[in-house]
């Protein structure tokens, strides 16, 4: 299984395929080509200086007679944790704040309106360990914790909406923990929060040791830059989770994640992209980068030797559009900022063509699902 030495699928195709074949392969694998965004030279210089990849892509929609283009720029940030996991908690959080502030500065230079960070971005992804301390000390209040206050400053300074996925400590309800994304409006106000609805019980993702399934449903946040929602990580395997955000009117659904190659890399390019197609919306898949090593050994319950690392987080963040097109991914092995310009008019335009909302049989599904969840249900299998 590739680690940092394999940069990206795109780079590999570009290196090995003749140009004519490459064009056809990209047409089939990526759909209608995105336009390269003309980003300021200073932004590329700052990215080089800050040692992260900067990639700019634009999706286009057809010009309409009665609606202006609804153009918005999103920024997806993927990064490794800059300090080892055994560094004191506050030092790790501060280093991450500093790293993200530098990347957000470049996002602002690129005219980003909505920026989203990776899942649990203020900490190493320590849930593999099943240990409580010191990892639970990374949890913060969604309303006024240090990270939310930091993001409020970012949003005021740059006039951006900030989506900040954190480990939440809910002091109002018995100090319990949640896997939460805080949405901060471009005015600097906390617009609200959403919680991870589906908790993995797969491999080393021992997250149910720390928090329960979210209890906030599928909120959609109205911003000046469109209606947005956040489907946190493992929720991307659940088509109905995407659907419910879309039913509530989401035009852009962010999917901040933390996932490793051995488990999910072949699913990654499919799931968020399929959700964009099925729900006539844009989706933004974000994954962290690199290897994280923990002080104590843990086992994966698979008979293999105890070890101290989670596996390789493969980055590869991308944006997918309702017409099935997608951007290239950010590299597997570098921090990065993907700036994508979206024309939200593409959502309705694609819906008018394909009509999935119109042809979906929601009433029938709702009735059948209502029956299927009853303990007395028996599946509708016709037998001879």
Ligand X SMILES: NC(=O)NCCC(=O)O
Residue in this structure with the two tokens 């309705």, named with its chain if needed: 348
Write each residue from 195 to 214 as x if it is in contact with ligand X (CB under 6 A), else as -, in one continuous string.
-----x-x--x---------
Q: Total binding residues for ligand X by CB under 6 A?
A: 11
Catalytic residues: 119, 196, 233
Please tell me whether residue 263 binds ligand X under the rule CB under 6 A.
yes
Rounded to the nearest whole angstrom, what is the least distance from the CB of residue 196 to ligand X in the complex? 7
Which one among 81, 155, 186, 264 touches ligand X, defined by CB under 6 A?
264
Please tell me whether residue 316 binds ligand X under the rule CB under 6 A.
no
As a whole number of angstroms, the distance between CA 334 and CA 314 comes to 9
Strand ranges inside the chain, DSSP E: 35-36, 53-58, 71-78, 114-116, 161-170, 176-184, 190-195, 221-223, 226-230, 252-256, 282-286, 289-290, 293-298, 307-309, 313-314, 318-320, 336-343
Rounded to the nearest whole angstrom, what is the least distance from the CB of residue 259 to ligand X in the complex? 3
Rounded to the nearest whole angstrom, what is the least distance from the CB of residue 116 to ligand X in the complex? 15
Which one among 93, 166, 230, 233 touches ligand X, defined by CB under 6 A?
233
Which one among 234, 294, 310, 312 touches ligand X, defined by CB under 6 A?
234
Rounded to the nearest whole angstrom, what is the least distance from the CB of residue 148 to ligand X in the complex? 21
Q: Which is nearer to ligand X, 71 or 118 (CB)?
A: 118
Which one among 258, 272, 339, 342 touches ligand X, defined by CB under 6 A?
258
Residue in this structure with the two tokens 């997918």, named with its chain if needed: 320
**Which of the ranges 88-96, 257-265, 314-322, 343-351 carries the binding residues for ligand X, by CB under 6 A?**
257-265
Cα–Cα distances in angstroms (integers) from residue 195 to residues 164, 165, 217, 218, 253, in the given order = 12, 9, 8, 9, 14
Q: Which residues contact 197 (CB under 8 A, 6 or more apart)?
A: 213, 214, 218, 231, 232, 235, 238, 241
Please tell me whether residue 119 binds ligand X under the rule CB under 6 A.
yes
Residue in this structure with the two tokens 């280093």, named with its chain if needed: 95
Please tell me whether residue 259 binds ligand X under the rule CB under 6 A.
yes
Q: Is residue 308 a contact partner of residue 48, using CB atoms and an 8 Å limit?
A: no
As a whole number of angstroms, the distance between CA 208 and CA 131 comes to 12
| Token code pair at residue 321 | 């559009």
Q: Which is nearer to ligand X, 205 or 245 (CB)?
A: 205
Point out which residues bind ligand X (CB under 6 A): 119, 200, 202, 205, 233-234, 257-259, 263-264
């Amino acid at each position: 299984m590739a680690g940092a030495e394999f940069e990206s699928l795109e780079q590999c195709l570009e290196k090995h395929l003749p140009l004519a074949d490459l064009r056809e392969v990209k047409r089939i694998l990526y759909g209608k080509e995105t336009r390269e965004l003309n980003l300021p030279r200073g932004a590329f210089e700052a990215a080089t200086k800050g040692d992260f990849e900067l990639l700019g892509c634009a999706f286009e929609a057809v010009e309409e007679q009665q609606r202006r283009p609804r153009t918005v720029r999103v920024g997806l940030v993927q990064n490794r944790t800059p300090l080892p996991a055994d560094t004191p908690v506050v030092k790790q959080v501060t280093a991450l704040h500093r790293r993200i502030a530098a990347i957000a500065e470049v996002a602002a230079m690129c005219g980003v309106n909505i920026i989203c960070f990776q899942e649990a971005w203020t900490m190493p992804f320590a849930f593999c360990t099943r240990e409580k301390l010191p990892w639970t000390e990374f949890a913060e209040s969604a309303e006024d914790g240090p990270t939310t206050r930091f993001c409020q400053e970012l949003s005021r300074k740059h006039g951006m909406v900030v989506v900040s996925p954190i480990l939440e400590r809910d002091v109002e309800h018995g100090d319990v923990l949640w896997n939460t994304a805080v949405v901060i409006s471009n005015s600097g106000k906390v617009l609200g929060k959403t919680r991870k609805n589906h908790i993995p019980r797969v491999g080393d993702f021992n997250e149910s040791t720390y928090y329960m399934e979210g209890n906030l449903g599928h909120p959609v946040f109205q911003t000046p830059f469109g209606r947005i929602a956040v489907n946190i990580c493992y929720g991307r395997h659940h088509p109905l989770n995407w659907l419910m955000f879309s039913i509530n009117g989401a035009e852009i659904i962010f999917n901040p994640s933390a996932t490793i190659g051995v488990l999910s890399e072949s699913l990654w390019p499919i799931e968020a992209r399929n959700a964009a197609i099925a729900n006539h919306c844009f989706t933004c898949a974000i994954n962290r980068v690199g290897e994280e090593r923990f002080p104590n050994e843990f086992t994966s319950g698979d008979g293999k030797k105890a070890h101290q690392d989670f596996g390789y987080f493969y980055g590869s963040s991308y944006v997918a559009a309702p017409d099935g097109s997608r951007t290239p991914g950010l590299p597997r092995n570098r921090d990065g900022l993907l700036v994508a310009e979206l024309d939200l008019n593409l959502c309705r335009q694609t819906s008018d063509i394909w009509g999935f909302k119109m042809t979906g049989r929601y009433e029938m599904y709702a009735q059948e699902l209502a029956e299927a969840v009853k303990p007395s249900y028996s599946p509708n299998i016709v037998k001879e």
